[in-house]
């Protein structure tokens, strides 16, 4: 497999969400958990944002996982049109937030849809989003816009 920007984004996102390396590897596909860990270290991440844990119970906050399946109405159905239906990224659950982590205010947290929903679903880093924007500063804003450009 190849570490495309999308996959790296996904790795970042999932890692920051607290998913385990094996879970990330499973969702990315084509890589072992060792590969994920190794890449994570090379990317400079490895320390997750404090006490965000959402493994037990498996009730992840974001990652809506839109089920894309064309219902077989007729036998000669057409291929799924992929209408690019961007699910509303704005959610605020994110648990209460880590003590001392999230800044009070209108910020919701950087979270926006990422390339292939089947693979990553959502980018999500711990950073607070800009007011009125789904993404945070600098890196995420750039990545967010790049995604839109690429999609176009």
Q: Which is nearer to DNA, 40 or 111 (CB)?
A: 40
Residues 6+ apart with CB under 8 A from 91: 61, 62, 108, 111
**CB atoms < 10 A from the CB of 63, how many?**
18
Work out whether 21 is an interface residue with DNA (CB under 7 A).
yes
Region of 28-36, 75-83, 116-124, 144-152 interacting with DNA (CB under 7 A): 28-36
**CB atoms < 10 A from the CB of 43, how many?**
13
Tokens 């890196």 found at: 139
3-state secondary structure of 123: strand
- From residue 29 to residue 58, the character string flagging contacts with DNA as x (rule: CB under 7 A) and all else as - is --xxxxx-xxxxxx---x------------
Name which of residues 104 to 133 contact DNA (CB under 7 A): none
Residue 39 beta carbon to DNA: minimum distance, rounded to whole angstroms: 5
Region of 19-27, 63-71, 108-116, 125-133 interacting with DNA (CB under 7 A): 19-27
How many angstroms separate the CA atoms of 130 and 127, rounded?
A: 9
Name which of residues 55 to 84 contact DNA (CB under 7 A): none
Alpha helix positions (H), 58-151: 139-151
Q: Residue 51: which of 101, 104, 103, 122 has the closest Cα?
A: 101
Residue 91 beta carbon to DNA: minimum distance, rounded to whole angstroms: 23
Q: Which is nearer to DNA, 38 or 66 (CB)?
A: 38
**Which positions lie near DNA, rule CB under 7 A?**
1, 3, 19-23, 31-35, 37-42, 46
């Amino acid at each position: 497999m190849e570490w495309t920007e999308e996959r790296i984004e996904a790795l970042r996102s999932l890692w920051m969400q607290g998913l385990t390396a094996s879970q990330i590897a499973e969702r990315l596909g084509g890589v072992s958990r060792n590969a994920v860990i190794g890449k994570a270290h090379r990317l400079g991440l490895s320390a997750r944002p404090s006490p965000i844990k959402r493994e037990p119970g498996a009730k992840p906050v974001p990652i809506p996982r839109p089920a894309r399946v064309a219902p077989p109405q007729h036998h000669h159905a057409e291929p799924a049109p992929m209408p690019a239906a961007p699910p509303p990224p704005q959610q605020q659950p994110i648990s209460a937030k880590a003590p001392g982590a999230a800044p009070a205010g209108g910020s919701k947290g950087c979270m926006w849809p990422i390339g292939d929903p089947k693979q990553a679903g959502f980018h999500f880093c711990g950073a607070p989003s800009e007011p009125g924007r789904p993404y945070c500063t600098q890196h995420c804003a750039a990545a967010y816009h790049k995604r839109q450009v690429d999609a176009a």
